[in-house]
Amino acid sequence: MSTATAHPNIALIKYWGKLDESLIIPSTSSIAVTLAAYESRTTVTLSENSKNDIAFINGEPLLGAGLARISRVLDRVRELAESTVKARVVSENTVPTAAGLASSASGFAALAVAAAAAYGLNASAVELSRIARLGSGSASRSIYGDFSIWHHGETDETSFAEPLIWQGEELAVVVAVVSAAAKAVSSRSGMQSSVETSPFYRSWVETNNQLVLEALQAINDGNLEALGELTEKSTMMMHAVMLTTNPSIRYLTGQSLEIFDSVRELRESGVGCWATADAGPNVKILTRRKDSAAVAAHLSSRFSEVQILESQLGGAARLVEHQP
Ligand code: PMV
């Protein structure tokens, strides 16, 4: 029995769309930071006499496609560990599930670490990131704390995440939870329709790969102003691709956009802060740790009905309990 924890990550330079649906090879590389405020905790227990894997998330049994994704990750671990034994997976999330707050990223990263330990597989961080990727692409990045890059690669071996070293001041992320409800269109099916139907898709891939290179430079220089601008650019380009998908996908609400405006207003008054959002209406604001209380206070005063939460950057996924 093995238990692991992992934190969600928020992409600064986004991933949206795959080259290979089954292996989850993305069309572009992406860069993210991990959030300490939320966590998934996953326990994997081998069940010698069971014919199937079983899984529970927050006490609810998982069936159908959700269970199949978990088995996909377990199958890869079993293949590497040369085992045929099924498993029981119990996962608890403090991340609102499927609300664009990266619950699948933390969940599958914790699953990869716990499953590798339970099956006695001695896997490196890069190998764990490839295993986590099979459950959810963004989970490849949650293996690491702080900053990471997911290299798009072209094959299972070359598509993995690695840590990056931020050379600047300590950072924080302020989260504005506009809605914790599950999204209507999953990121998996949304990105597939964008690849197939958005007339902007090809230019998204070209531009976003360029933004990755510029962001690597900004991270290496510890230049938050440059990184913040690149983050907002990648965010708006991804949402433009979503909007121009047929049928159109719209994750941002009017209130999300008002929060983006309010962040710009605060930035123009001299506080370094930049907003981003993923496949949901919630907005995450990248800022210096010393400014995060001011950003949270600014947003709380304008959006009294929105839950505002300050988070430090999170640590890596880790094994917290192991009984061979
Ligand atoms: O890996 P998924 O299916 O959770 O997709 C993540 C997609 C975005 O969150 C919108 C962007 C990203 O890079 O995390």
Q: Tens of pLDDT along 243-267?
A: 999 999 999 999 999 999 999 999 9
Which residues, in sequence order, are CB contacts of 123 under 8 Å at separation 6+?
Answer: 80, 116, 131
- pTM given for the model: 0.96
Q: Among 278, 282, 284, which is best to mutate for testing ligand 1, by the most ligand atoms less than 8 A from CB? A: 278
Which residues approach ligand 1 with their CB closer than 6 A?
11, 14-16, 30, 104-105, 136-138, 187-188, 278-279
Which residues, in sequence order, are CB contacts of 146 under 8 Å at separation 6+?
Answer: 33, 34, 163, 164, 166, 313, 314, 315
Contact 17, 27 (CB under 8 A): yes
Q: Would the pLDDT of 190 be above 70?
A: yes
Two structure tokens written together for 22: 């089954």
Amino acid at 150: W
Give the mean model confidence (pLDDT) for residues 165-179: 95
Give the whole-number percent of the chain exceeding pLDDT 70. Answer: 97
Q: Would the pLDDT of 78 be above 60?
A: yes
Q: What distance in angstroms lies between residue 16's CA and the mean position of ligand 1's atoms?
A: 7
Q: What distance in angstroms lies between residue 51's CA and the mean position of ligand 1's atoms?
A: 32
Q: What distance in angstroms lies between residue 115's CA and the mean position of ligand 1's atoms?
A: 22
Q: Residue 211: which H helix or E strand, with range?
A: helix 201-221
Contact 290, 169 (CB under 8 A): yes
Closest CA to 36 of 10, 14, 2: 10
Closest CA to 215 of 15, 13, 26, 17: 13
Q: Which atom of ligand 1 is nearest to the CA of 104?
A: 4
Which residues, in sequence order, are CB contacts of 103 under 8 Å at separation 6+?
Answer: 8, 38, 40, 93, 95, 96, 97
Q: Among 13, 16, 148, 276, which is best to mutate for testing ligand 1, by the most ligand atoms less than 8 A from CB? A: 16
Q: Would the pLDDT of 182 be above 90?
A: no
- Which residue owns the Cα nearest ligand 1 atom 6? 138
Q: What distance in angstroms lies between residue 17's CA and the mean position of ligand 1's atoms?
A: 9
